[in-house]
Structure 1
Amino acid sequence: MRLFRLAKILSIASRFGIDEMILEHEPTGRLAALWRSVHFWRRFDSPRAVRLRLALEALGPIFVKFGQVLSTRRDLLPLDIADELAKLQDRVPPFSAEVALAEIEAAYGRPASEVFAEFDATPVASASVAQVHLARLRPEDGGHEVAVKILRPNMLSVIEHDLALLETLAGLLEKLWADGKRLKPREVVAEFAKYLHDELDLMREAANCSQLRRNFTGSTLLLVPEVYWDHCTTTVMVMERMRGIPISQIDALVATGIDLKSLSRAGVEIFFTQVFRDGFFHADMHPGNIFVATEGENRGKYIALDFGIVGTLNDDDKDYLAQNFLAFFRRDYKRVAMAHVEAGWAPADTRIDEFEAAIRAVCEPIFDRPLREISFGRVLLRLFQTSRRFNVEIQPQLVMLQKTLLNVEGLGRQLDPDLDLWTTAKPFLERWMKNQVGWRAFVRAAQQEAPGWARTLPQLPRLVHRALVREPGADIALVLADLAVTQRRQNRLLFVVAALLLALLAFQYF
């Protein structure tokens, strides 16, 4: 089956001339000329960008998602290819209205006409995994205008085949390439597979949407649709209809008077809020999933859509990342190098001074320059070369964060090429770090730990008695003396805990 899928990929690449496009980048040009002479019968009427998009669509959802990410990297791709790949964001060929209605009936056990008061059989958006139709709930269900997301049928088998092929290629890469083991390609593929499988369960996506909406309740920057749980299944998701202009339609945003510079700064703040405040972030932030509200009290706010892929970070990840970001912003490259070693990402015997010098050589040139003058492609390449030299291990759990950072950069570049990413992000990270290590952090930690203290402290005498029973030869007098000291400490600690709880109550209510 894997060989069949590989043969199909090669066949599609040949049909659309992707092989020739790749060989065109060979420095001498001789290999491309030879390849064209061998395949003399092939003639292509469509431009290369159109052929690349059609090839990705023919290859299936994994490759479509790859094209979506590439479409945001206008600094790395020719403009004709970036513009054409942008069509993958919400204009993948839809499945038929008959199939959509059949999927709804299969999900609810009754036809769409009995579930919705109105249902538009023509989709408003069609993506790699699902497509969206507009509808209205029946009056007894509130009569709300809704968006109905329907999973593409038979998606699981297609994705399983592609993942199996990727796993095989990752295994070969690990064995044949010198950097294979350090880059952990099989773990990266496994992480990607987990997120893809999550995306095939629309109940999980609905839960992600609900969580993000709760995190940004009352936000002045971001809107998230409400989920109508009574109408959600694993293959159909129903949510509030949102009105706005796609973030990629820059001219339309300007025509409505939206301040693009403010919008770009707000996007950076939203991203860092999700990552560092919540540890829960939208990990599929390509332009097809981001709109801007242009009417009423929500004017100028971002609208987030499509919550199939989210990322999570634990407290250690957030602390590590924040330290590194702040160190980069402050040009403290020694702190960056030390953080890598302390986290175990680089070997313990790494020469800090040499690692510091290498990081400085990569990062120093990019500071104090607007985004439009920075080639992040070259920066990433040099960072990769540096990490290879110092045997830095790739962290699979942060793959989604890295992908999202690329999306955020692409959006920022489209909205405001002069955006100073560093100046925009630094104050937010500094505030976050103060909250993590200052008095507020102590109060928050005490609130979290107080219930555990209250449960554990009264158990100390029983735990000591259990230790005496298990060790009959122990010096009873010594143990009793230790117990008396422990009891006095316990009393003092209980007093401190009580005082602290009172202080917390006062802090909350006054």
Structure 2
Amino acid sequence: MEALRGPHNLLRLIRTGATFERTGAMAEVLEALDAPRPLRVAIRVLAAPFRWLGYEGDPEMPPATRALTALGPAYIKFGQILSTRPDVVGDEIAVQLRVLQDRLPPFPTAQAKRAVAIELGQPVDKLFSEFSEPVAAASIAQVHQARLAETGETVAVKVLRPGIEKAFRRDIDAFYFVARMIERLVPGSRRLRPVEVIAHFESVVLGELDLRLEAAAAAEFAANTHDDAGFEVPALHWHLSGRRVMTLKWVEGISAARTAEIDAAGHDRARLAERVLQLFLSHALRDGYFHGDMHQGNLKVGPDGTLIALDFGIMGRIDEYTRRVYAEIIFGFIRKDYRRVAEVHFEAGYVPADRDVDAFASALRAVGEPIFGMDASRISMARLLNYLFEVTERFGMQTRTELILLQRTMVVVEGVARTLDPHINIWKAARPVVEDYIRDNIGPKAVARDLGRTVQVLSRFGPRLPALAEAALVRQSHPEPPAPKREMPPLAWVAIGAGLTAAAGWIASLV
């Protein structure tokens, strides 16, 4: 089956390059990424003959946005991530790509109403006294403002795009094809586990395509963050939610991307930037459950300065051990204790044991030192990420698929914080959250708590301990005789002999 899909996927990839060339995005992206001139020329020469295969897209859109929207939802997702990284793709492209967060072309309201009626089993007019045109449209779904017929409450109704599942499956299939080709043609890339990365991306996306899972995620996230000052998760209406429809309380606020409006409303952007970063770290470390798609389009600033989270289709979960490792790594960087950061990587198995700890610590120092004491506006994240990649390659570090979403979200959150405050010092902002976590979860206090949990687990087996001990003593005093060897039945020998004879005859006929 994969062989049959190969040509289709190859055509899809050629069409991707052709679309970038046809829309003018190719030259723009290569320039923004500061690609070497020989590479730019080579890519343009290779793409030019296939230009006619590319999608034209909407000529009213800027080149990069035009290309990604023409290619489909998976590409749009990728563009959403890049929109938070002006330090990687440049300010101009980052601004262009923000359109992908919540201002894509909507599908007709009539289709949305039909989907709601089918999903909830009742006509829209019976459920809602008002149902607006789309107020926001993203890659997977769009949102309508509505008023409940029963109570008059204003709500947000999220509806999946028609045919979105098929579109994502087509793109993910092509991504798998690319990942397998990379592994075969570039053996050194296997440490990065490209196929596993795509598998992780697939699982995340498929979770977004079932709004019942998003509703459950929103409810859990709301419970975890209930006591977080200055943070809100809109309340969910379970009886008006299903696989393709989800209904939430309507919240008023300014998109985190609209910095001029935030300033006009009198909010402190530097404080908001700090809060975004601290809340994310708090959710990841304290709860092990965090918003995995925290770009500007999914954050609003309420009238009182409260940060309001939206869109819970991508949520991340990390276990307690990984949280401790992650916290120690961050804390080590904050304290400039690169030796300890290196040791944590080795203890966790992130770096092969045969590598040199001191050499790895020196490499980490070269990453950390240039960014301490600098505000974010003077740091080139593109160069930093490039050097980090070189370090991981040199020391044979493999991609940790369980950390992919955490790392990606950290990059996105930092991008949001930098948009709000270009001069933010991420280490200074992170320090109080990480120190609190370290104090409570690493050290004597944590050891005592872990021992208490261990005793609690063992105590559950208390009533069974006498019987288990007695069974163990019986086995020790009366060991079971070794199991007799099973003889091959005579009929089996006949069958094997006949098979070997037939195989010998077939080989002889070939010769």
TM-score with structure 1 setting the length: 0.86
The yes-or-no answer on 1:5 pairing with 2:12 is yes
Aligned to 2:506: none
The structural deviation recorded for 1:368 is: 1.4
1:102 to 103, 110, 114: 114
Aligned to 2:254: 245
Cα distance change, pair 92–33 in 1 and its aligned pair in 2 (3 A): closer
Secondary structure at the aligned position of 2:293 is classed as: coil
Cα distance change, pair 112–314 in 1 and its aligned pair in 2 (3 A): same
Aligned to 2:306: 301
Q: Distance in 2 between matches of 1:48 and 1:340?
A: 48
2:64 to 52, 56, 60: 52
Q: Which amino acid aligns with 1:5?
A: R
The structural deviation recorded for 1:446 is: 5.9
The yes-or-no answer on 1:27 pairing with 2:37 is yes
| Cα shift readout 1:392-428 (whole Å, capped 9, x = no counterpart) | 1111111111111111111111111221211121122
Cα distance change, pair 45–125 in 1 and its aligned pair in 2 (3 A): closer
Q: Distance in 2 between matches of 1:320 and 1:63?
A: 32
The structural deviation recorded for 1:447 is: 6.0
Q: In 1, are the aligned partners of 2:19 and 2:51 still within 8 Å (CA)?
A: no
Q: Distance in 1 between matches of 2:156 and 2:197?
A: 33
Q: Which amino acid aligns with 1:13?
A: F
2:216 to 189, 201, 207: 207
Which runs of 5 or more structure 1 residues have no equivalent in the other structure? Answer: 475-510
Q: In 2, are the aligned partners of 1:100 and 1:150 still within 8 Å (CA)?
A: yes
Aligned to 1:170: 179
| Cα shift readout 1:124-150 (whole Å, capped 9, x = no counterpart) | 1000000000011122xx332110000
Output aligned runs, 1:273-292, within 5 Å. Answer: 273-292=282-301
The structural deviation recorded for 1:38 is: 7.0
Secondary structure at the aligned position of 1:179 is classed as: helix
Q: Distance in 1 between matches of 2:257 and 2:222?
A: 23
Aligned to 1:262: 271
1:272 to 245, 268, 281: 281
Which runs of 5 or more structure 2 residues have no equivalent in the other structure? Answer: 1-7, 480-511
The yes-or-no answer on 1:127 pairing with 2:138 is yes
Secondary structure at the aligned position of 2:374 is classed as: coil
Secondary structure at the aligned position of 2:308 is classed as: strand
Aligned to 1:493: none
Q: Distance in 2 between matches of 1:37 and 1:3?
A: 17
Q: Distance in 2 between matches of 1:311 and 1:176?
A: 32
Aligned to 1:17: 24
The yes-or-no answer on 1:365 pairing with 2:377 is no
Q: Which amino acid aligns with 1:184?
A: R
Q: Which amino acid aligns with 2:206?
A: H
The structural deviation recorded for 1:454 is: 3.1
Q: Distance in 2 between matches of 1:226 and 1:32?
A: 49
Secondary structure at the aligned position of 2:86 is classed as: coil
| Cα shift readout 1:261-291 (whole Å, capped 9, x = no counterpart) | 2111111210111100000000101110000
Deviates more, 1:463-472 or 1:250-259: 463-472
The structural deviation recorded for 1:335 is: 1.1
Cα distance change, pair 48–72 in 1 and its aligned pair in 2 (3 A): farther
Q: Distance in 2 between matches of 1:40 and 1:414?
A: 35
2:404 to 393, 396, 399: 399
Q: Which amino acid aligns with 1:136?
A: R
Secondary structure at the aligned position of 2:216 is classed as: helix
Q: Report the number of matched residues.
A: 466
Q: Distance in 1 between matches of 2:119 and 2:425?
A: 48
Q: In 2, are the aligned partners of 1:147 and 1:239 still within 8 Å (CA)?
A: yes
The structural deviation recorded for 1:20 is: 4.4
Q: In 2, are the aligned partners of 1:20 and 1:32 still within 8 Å (CA)?
A: no
1:70 to 82, 89, 94: 82
Q: Distance in 2 between matches of 1:472 and 1:34?
A: 80
Q: Which amino acid aligns with 2:154?
A: E
Q: Which amino acid aligns with 1:346?
A: V
Secondary structure at the aligned position of 1:281 is classed as: strand
| Cα shift readout 1:129-177 (whole Å, capped 9, x = no counterpart) | 00000011122xx332110000011111111111111011001111212
Aligned to 1:468: 473
Output aligned runs, 1:294-443, within 5 Å. Answer: 294=303, 299-438=304-443, 440-441=445-446
Cα distance change, pair 14–48 in 1 and its aligned pair in 2 (3 A): farther
Q: In 1, are the aligned partners of 2:24 and 2:63 still within 8 Å (CA)?
A: yes
Q: Distance in 1 between matches of 2:275 and 2:471?
A: 58
Output aligned runs, 1:115-194, within 5 Å. Answer: 115-120=127-132, 122-139=133-150, 142-194=151-203
The structural deviation recorded for 1:54 is: 1.1
Q: Distance in 2 between matches of 1:288 and 1:378?
A: 26
Q: In 2, are the aligned partners of 1:20 and 1:36 still within 8 Å (CA)?
A: no
Q: In 2, are the aligned partners of 1:371 and 1:419 still within 8 Å (CA)?
A: yes
Cα distance change, pair 394–318 in 1 and its aligned pair in 2 (3 A): same
Q: Distance in 1 between matches of 2:309 and 2:99?
A: 18
| Cα shift readout 1:209-258 (whole Å, capped 9, x = no counterpart) | 11111111132121000010011100000011011011111111111111
Q: Distance in 1 between matches of 2:344 and 2:47?
A: 51
Query: Alignment RMSD, CA only?
Result: 2.5
The structural deviation recorded for 1:106 is: 1.5
Q: In 2, are the aligned partners of 1:334 and 1:356 still within 8 Å (CA)?
A: yes
The structural deviation recorded for 1:457 is: 2.8
The structural deviation recorded for 1:459 is: 2.7
TM-score with structure 2 setting the length: 0.86
Q: In 2, are the aligned partners of 1:49 and 1:80 still within 8 Å (CA)?
A: no
Cα distance change, pair 123–346 in 1 and its aligned pair in 2 (3 A): same
Q: In 1, are the aligned partners of 2:346 and 2:353 still within 8 Å (CA)?
A: yes
Q: In 1, are the aligned partners of 2:58 and 2:66 still within 8 Å (CA)?
A: no
Deviates more, 1:65-74 or 1:3-12: 3-12
The structural deviation recorded for 1:77 is: 2.1
2:102 to 77, 90, 103: 90
Q: Distance in 2 between matches of 1:442 and 1:81?
A: 49
Q: Which amino acid aligns with 1:135?
A: A
The structural deviation recorded for 1:444 is: 4.5
Q: Distance in 2 between matches of 1:36 and 1:466?
A: 73
The structural deviation recorded for 1:461 is: 1.9
